[in-house]
Amino acid sequence: MTQAHDLPPVIGVWREGDPLGRRRFVTGVQVLETGQELPFRIAYETWGALNSSASNAVLVEHALTGDSHAVGPAEEGHVSPGWWDGLIGPGKAIDTDAFFVVVPNVLGGCQGSTGPSSPHPGGSPWGSRFPAVTVRDQVAAEVTLADALGIDRWAAVLGGSMGGMRALEWAVSEPDRVAALLVLVSTAQASADQIAWAAPQLHAIRSDPGWHGGDYHDIPGGGPHAGLGIARRIAYVTYRSEGELSQRFGRRYQDGEDPLSGGRFAIESYLDHHAGKLSRRFDAGSYVVLTESMNTHDVGRGRGGVANALGRITARTVAAGVDSDRLYPLYQSQAIADAVTGAEFAVINSPYGHDSFLIETEQIAKLVRLLLG
């Protein structure tokens, strides 16, 4: 039986000396919105080739627990398979025979970009010393990446959920550098409801004895694995729709288990499964940092409000929501489309809720082709 002290301090986090996989890196230093100076590294992956005019580059932004590995199997250096395999590749909606696709791991993440599990300049992991970063800070780091790649203007920037926040921020903060924009199941500013759903997740992680104030990365067997699992269970309920969960699981018992005798309902087993998966591939510190960056997301901050900020966008824009999404309801996507000149609002019809942007490949492919066509 595996003992706690035999476990690595963080499971699934990419660290120096691990296989690189497809990762490449760019480094820089930036002053954050808080005023703190942060030396950083961004890990990224690319598919396709940049043309001579550097005009065919597409930036794809991942969601909260995603990373740069959008395409391909789980393999050496990459703990998870590609999360948008159905959309990116030769002949697919984001055609890598025509476009140069760039997918960065977000600043604050745990798959090669600087985050709480990364080495502090002093040597040990950042841990609790890692500063608060905003969506605006994350985009500023990606500007450094674009500059390093020689990309003055993206042919398109696409993202869903947290990735949609970064895509939108790109178009607001760098309007001359974004030709087309697809914002999926996202918002211009986090709502009270979204912040409320995040609150018990953050409390679950910070209340875990393994949290150690955020400084657990070098403790053998350390890490708030149970707290992260609870956070994932809470989040996963918001990612799927009530209708899907009712139809898929109902009140069925997990095979061979009876809740009257201490067993589980099938839906409980499902949530346990996803909690365990995330705890084995993601860093709780990154989960906290990125969740808080989503909470503080507001494109209108310091810009005269949301409407004024969205009025800066010059990109050809599609804002799309899912009709069964209870976390990022349709009205938030509609509000983006209404505020951006010439933008199109689209509805993805799906029973799967918020996660439909990862599932409904055919519907999203149509939106991508509309944008890139």
Pairing verdict, β 24-31 and 88-89: unpaired
Of the candidates 161, 173, 241, 333, the residue annotated as catalytic is: 161
Residue 362 near residue 356 (C-beta atoms within 8 A) = no
Sign, CA dihedral 94-95-99-100, equals: positive
3-state secondary structure labels for all residues of 252-314: CECCCCCHHHCCCEHHHHHHHHHHHHHHCCCCHHHHHHHHHHHHCCECCCCCCCHHHHHCCCC
Going across the sheet that includes 180-184, the strands are 24-31, 37-47, 100-104, 57-61, 156-160, 180-184, 316-322, 344-348
CB neighbourhood size of 208 (10 A)? 20
Residue 350 near residue 323 (C-beta atoms within 8 A) = yes
Of the candidates 67, 137, 208, 325, the residue annotated as catalytic is: 325
For residue 191, indicate whether it is catalytic: no
For residue 325, indicate whether it is catalytic: yes
Tell me whether residue 303 is exposed, middle or buried, using C-beta atoms within 10 angstroms of its C-beta: 0 to 12, 13 to 18, 19 or more.
Answer: middle
- Please state, in angstroms and rounded to a whole number, the distance separating the CA atoms of residues 250 and 270: 12
CB neighbourhood size of 261 (10 A)? 7
223 φ, ψ to 5°? 115, 140
Sign, CA dihedral 367-343-69-294, equals: negative
Nearest to 116 by CA among 230, 223, 23: 223
For residue 124, indicate whether it is catalytic: no
Residues in the chain: 373
Chain position carrying tokens 């708030």: 224
Tell me whether residue 260 is exposed, middle or buried, using C-beta atoms within 10 angstroms of its C-beta: 0 to 12, 13 to 18, 19 or more.
Answer: exposed
Of the candidates 67, 78, 354, 356, the residue annotated as catalytic is: 354
Catalytic residue IDs: 161, 325, 354
